[in-house]
Amino acid sequence: MGFTDTLRARWTAANSLLCVGLDPDPAKFPDAYADDDDALFAFCRDIVDATAEYACAFKPQIAYFAAHNGGEAALQRLIAHINAEHPDVPVILDAKRGDIGSTAEQYAVEAFDRFGADAVTLNPYMGRDSAQPFLQRGDRGCVFLCHTSNPGARDFQELTVPDGSGGGEPLYQRIARTIAGEWNGANNCALVVGATFPEEELRDTINRHR
């Protein structure tokens, strides 16, 4: 069963849309982990075990692990723990990868083979060839940045680009349409859309259904 089907099955089984982010910052850990040399793993493992009943997915942020000595090994162990103890809950590796084809191939190996993630977040701005090594893994998910929630999102994502019929459209809409239509041949694509622009999302929904 592919990532999309696994995620949908989990939505139904857990009756939940909760995606639990795992962004461990040792400076903010409770005192109980202060003397634990394995705190990075232990803290996240305990969160996973406490929330698995309610989660439709787990989303570890790779930077919060890679920034620390031994952190990537802790991430690898954490995902292995999720896969072993909570196999019905998919793991989305938040890495936002996007690079030339040969490098992208290695990033795909990193996300799917080394870490064992079910899906990975990706940056689409280098085009189809940078995404292809991920897209061709039909059983794994590709979650592309589209309209993000950070304040600077408007710097580029809302720029108007030609729509091919003499008009124009925001860049993020072009991204969404291209990924949904041209890149989603294996039905394994999804989009990152921030919930901080409700007016724009409502407007887009109305325009699509006119």
What DSSP line would sit under 120-182, residue for residue? EEE-GGG-HHHHHHHHT-TTSEEEEEEE-SSGGGGGTTT-EEE-SSS-EEEHHHHHHHHIIII
The token pair that represents 119 in the structure block: 């899906």
Provide the 10 A C-beta neighbour count for residue 5: 12
Q: Is 96 considered catalytic here? A: yes
- Cα(first)–Cα(last) distance of the chain, in Å? 36
Cα–Cα distances in Å, from 204 out to 145, 148, 173, 201? 17, 15, 9, 5
Active-site residue, from 96, 105, 154, 200: 96
- If one counts every other C-beta atom within 10 angstroms of the C-beta of residue 172, the result is 24
Query: Which residues are tagged catalytic?
Result: 96
